[in-house]
Amino acid sequence: MLEVAAGAAEERHLSNIIFRHGYAEKLPFEDASFEVVINRYSAHHWYDVGQALREVNRVLKPGGALIMMDIMLPGHSVRDIWLQTVEALRDTSHVRNYSSGEWLAMANKALLVTNTIYCWSFTHG
């Protein structure tokens, strides 16, 4: 995946991008390295979300922002179990989806200040 992304950046002559392989729970960057950290549909693959969020907090500059997009549990126990099961069967690297309340609790525990949360519900049909 990194090779594909690097190739796409090269095709577009984007020379200010560095691609690194690493783990969310142990980011290979110095403290206060980034103004913005963006995560798009990978958090449900993390083994230790709390540690990953602490790492995000560590690499963010003061006043920096975390932008996250991921699948969230619907908040109904039967649907939650169903979604977890479907995701695990569909993708063996899937670890867990979380509810909005669980995300808030984990962000607060990682000392990330939550200013704005947007939740979108997508329906099919």
∠ Cα 54 116 95 (to 5°): 45
CATH number of this structure's domain 24-125, picked from the four choices 2.160.10.10, 3.30.2350.10, 3.40.50.2300, 3.40.50.150: 3.40.50.150
The model's confidence at residue 125, banded by pLDDT at 50, 70 and 90, is low
> Is 65 in contact with 35 (CB distance < 8 Å)?
yes
When comparing pLDDT for 99 and 8, which is higher? Answer: 8
For 88, phi and psi rounded to 5 degrees?
A: -65, -35
Query: Is the torsion defined by CA of 33, 37, 42, 46 positive or negative?
Result: positive
pLDDT digits (tens, 9 = 90+) for 7-59: 999 999 999 988 889 899 999 999 999 999 999 888 888 899 999 999 999 99
Run of H or E including 52: helix 49-59
Run of H or E including 83: helix 77-90
pLDDT score for 41? 87
pLDDT score for 8? 95
The model's confidence at residue 122, banded by pLDDT at 50, 70 and 90, is low
The residues pairing with 98 across neighbouring beta strands, listed in sequence order, are 72
Using alpha carbons, select from 36, 96, 35 the residue that is nearest to residue 70. 96
pLDDT over 90 at 74, yes or no? no
